[in-house]
């Protein structure tokens, strides 16, 4: 009995130390990144009013996906653009009358050069295209997340788009040994030389969202990270609404760098102050 008590005591002590280490790591991840958005000084309401006066147009790639749907909703609610074009492989249906003035262009992503006209005449572009290796296979994943995205960016630049917004991923790195992160980093690097007046890259961590499609790994991660995110909201995850609010808010803020990368904490900080 005494040996059992000692064993339990050691086990409890080990887990206590382990939890303390995990908490310290999460605290470090939460606070290690300083961002210019931590103390937001921009008046987003005034910026939005000024932006509307410019009668700008935008397109959204990937509006049928989770981020794209939330982004479209955010843009429509704020009435920022005089024209909104959805570019995708199929026509989308909307019940809300707020979406009735959308322009929809159906394209074949395997033959995007044939649809160059679709990309002409837009001031701002948002790219939320993406799939998974599990769904499309390695080659299919590369084709969608790299080839389709890069070709769309090329056509957008040729069509006059000045501000291109790309949803990427935390940890994106073209030298990564992980295919997902390598492809995300490579497409970032390949778009940069196109020379947009402004190129904004968003690198969110695990998106907290209930997807319609089944992604078991992501589902498990959300279940594990859910409780953690309440205490450490930017360490390992982010609500999808924060991402889309940040993308829209960043569009309103005057450009700083020509190429800007917003990591997870910057996205979270910027996404906390929506103009409603």
Distance CA 271, CA 273 (A): 6
Instruction: Answer yes or no: 126 catalytic.
Output: no
Distance CA 165, CA 59 (A): 10
Q: Which two tokens stand for residue 7?
A: 């064993």
Residue in 83, 115, 133, 180 annotated catalytic: 180
Predicted TM-score of the model (pTM):
0.81
Residue of higher predicted confidence among 155 and 218: 155
Q: How would residue 237 be classed by pLDDT, with cut points 50, 70 and 90?
A: confident
Residue percentage of the chain with pLDDT more than 90: 66
What mean pLDDT, rounded, does the chain reach?
Answer: 83
Distance CA 203, CA 34 (A): 15
Q: How would residue 165 be classed by pLDDT, with cut points 50, 70 and 90?
A: very high
Q: 6-10, 126-130, 161-165: which has the minimum mean pLDDT?
A: 6-10
pLDDT of residue 65: 93
Q: How would residue 21 be classed by pLDDT, with cut points 50, 70 and 90?
A: very low
Residue in 69, 170, 184, 265 annotated catalytic: 184
Q: Is the pLDDT of residue 18 over 90?
A: no
Q: Residues 176, 181, 183, CA angle at the centre, nearest 5°?
A: 95
Instruction: Answer yes or no: 202 catalytic.
Output: no
């Amino acid at each position: 009995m005494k040996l059992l008590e000692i064993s339990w005591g050691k086990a409890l002590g080990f887990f206590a130390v382990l939890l303390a280490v995990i908490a310290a790591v999460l605290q470090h991840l939460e606070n290690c990144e300083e961002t210019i958005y931590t103390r937001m000084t921009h008046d987003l309401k005034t910026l939005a009013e000024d932006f509307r006066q410019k009668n700008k147009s935008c397109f959204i790639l990937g509006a049928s996906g989770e981020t794209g749907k939330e982004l479209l909703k955010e843009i429509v609610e704020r009435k920022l653009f005089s024209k909104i074009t959805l570019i995708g492989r199929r026509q989308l249906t909307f019940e809300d009358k707020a979406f009735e003035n959308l322009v929809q262009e159906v394209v074949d992503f395997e033959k995007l050069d044939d649809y160059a006209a679709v990309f002409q005449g837009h001031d701002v572009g948002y790219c939320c295209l993406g799939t998974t290796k599990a769904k499309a296979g390695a080659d299919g994943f590369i084709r969608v997340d790299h080839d389709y995205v890069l070709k769309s960016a090329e056509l957008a630049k040729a069509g006059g788009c000045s501000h291109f917004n790309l949803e990427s991923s935390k940890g994106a790195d073209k030298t990564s040994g992980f295919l997902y992160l390598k492809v995300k980093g490579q497409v970032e690097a390949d778009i940069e030389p196109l020379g947009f007046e402004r190129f904004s890259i968003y690198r969110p961590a695990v998106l907290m969202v209930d997807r319609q499609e089944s992604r078991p790994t992501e589902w498990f991660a959300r279940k594990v990270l859910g409780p953690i995110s309440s205490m450490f909201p930017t360490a390992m995850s982010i609500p999808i609404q924060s991402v889309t609010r940040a993308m829209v808010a960043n569009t309103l803020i005057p450009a700083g760098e020509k190429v800007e990368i917003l990591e997870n904490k910057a996205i979270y900080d910027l996404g906390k102050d929506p103009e409603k």
